[in-house]
Amino acid sequence: MALMSGTALAREILDDAARRARARTGRKPCLATVLAGDDPASVTYVRMKQKRCAATGIDSRHVALPASATTRELVAAITELGEDEAVDGILLQHPVPRHIDERAAFEAIPPGKDVDGVTMHSFAAMAFGLPGFVSCTPGGIVRLLDAHGVDPAGQRAVVIGRSPILGKPAAMLLLARDATVTVCHSRTANLAEHVRQADIVVAAVGKPEFVRGDWIKPGAVVVDAGYNPGNVGDVEFDQARQRASLITPVPGGVGPVTIALLLEQTVAAANGEGQPEIVQSGR
Ligand SMILES: NC(=O)C1=CN([C@@H]2O[C@H](COP(=O)(O)OP(=O)(O)OC[C@H]3O[C@@H](n4cnc5c(N)ncnc54)[C@H](OP(=O)(O)O)[C@@H]3O)[C@@H](O)[C@H]2O)C=CC1
Ligand SMILES: Nc1nc(=O)c2c([nH]1)NC[C@@H]1CN(c3ccc(C(=O)N[C@@H](CCC(=O)O)C(=O)O)cc3)C=[N+]21
């Protein structure tokens, strides 16, 4: 077993982003973070992103709305950031309070500022193999595989989870890399049987140690995107690592690369570029 660490890769991506920041524009790129409500985990994530911005030479601006905010108010706040020329990228922290229409709020982000890759436009571009911003966690997963010499082509990939910002786009990116992709979810029958067949497993469930180590096929590559309270992933790490050829740790795996991609795409947005290199096949 070897560890598929994300910290070194994140460092590389951030160093490169720092070098490219202001190169074309002469001013710092600016990421706007938007948070509705005060969920403590979300507050922590947003703070992490802001700190990483500061260290990378990126300005950040934060818009905080109360948990009682309406869809209309959230959409208005995002629309305003979309029209603000000083803002290059917009991140709306997921999840939003239950009474808010999250999709409507995401869609208020103009495609050129969708550095978190959450809009229909970005998803479709990614799925069609066209230039655009990728969803950060799935994009980070593919970059991790690349950095560790894992070529998904012809491999059986099983993605557990189908959420709009994680499981579903992760499946599309693996498909673009010519993997044979199975997407599992809460209605999947015989989940363990699917996982046992997988050369590449992506766990994106949100349940601590949900994926049992003995489901992992010997030699498989395991990517644990789960991030549960107490820094616990979605995979039973100690058992899985004995069977996997490569496995991401939690923390220090997918998480840091996700944030690095967000900042990389913010710099790209400021420089007027898309992010075409992740999707190659155009299928
Ligand atoms: N490192 C990072 O950057 C990020 C990490 N995360 C982490 O990833 C995890 C997943 O996040 P997210 O996708 O937003 O979560 P969601 O809750 O939106 O989605 C969870 C998915 O898991 C599926 N699922 C739930 N129970 C089961 C089950 N028993 N068997 C099979 N599938 C099941 C659900 O299926 P169904 O669709 O049928 O309900 C759903 O598709 C969390 O731990 C989160 O913290 C999330 C985003 C970024
Ligand atoms: N619109 C939106 N986009 C997101 O990308 C998004 C989101 N909403 N909502 C919440 C999840 C969660 N998420 C994490 C990112 C990095 C780490 C991360 O870097 N974790 C460190 C540990 C950090 C620490 O706890 O010290 C690690 O895994 O090593 C974790 C979780 C992004 N998310």
114 given a catalytic annotation: no
Q: What is the pLDDT of residues 145-182, one digit of tens each?
A: 999 999 999 999 999 999 999 999 999 999 999 999 99
Q: With contact defined as beta carbons under 8 Å apart, do 29 and 58 qualify?
A: yes
Give every CB contact of residue 203 below 8 A, 6+ residues apart in sequence: 160, 161, 210, 211, 222, 223, 224, 225, 226, 233, 234, 235
| Alpha-carbon distance values, 243 to 145, 147, 221 (Å) | 18, 21, 9
Catalytic residue among 28, 49, 113, 168: 49
- Per-residue model confidence (pLDDT) at position 276: 43
**98 in a labelled binding site:** no
Distance of CA 281 to the CA centre of its chain: 20
- Distance of alpha carbon 168 from alpha carbon 187, whole angstroms: 15
pLDDT at 241 over 60: yes
Six-digit token pair at 119? 């809009």
88 given a catalytic annotation: no
pLDDT at 43 over 80: yes
Indicate the pTM of the whole model: 0.96
pLDDT at 130 over 80: yes
| Structural domains of the chain sorted by starting position, each given as residue range(s) with its CATH number in brackets | 25-111 (3.40.50.10860), 136-254 (3.40.50.720)
Q: What is the mean pLDDT of the chain?
A: 95
pLDDT at 116 over 80: yes
Measured in angstroms, how far is the CA atom of residue 137 from the centroid of ligand 2? 9
pLDDT at 278 over 60: no
pLDDT at 281 over 80: no
Q: What is the pLDDT of residues 181-192, one digit of tens each?
A: 999 999 999 999
ipTM score above 0.90: yes
Burial (CB count <10 Å: 0-12, 13-18, 19+), residue 276: middle
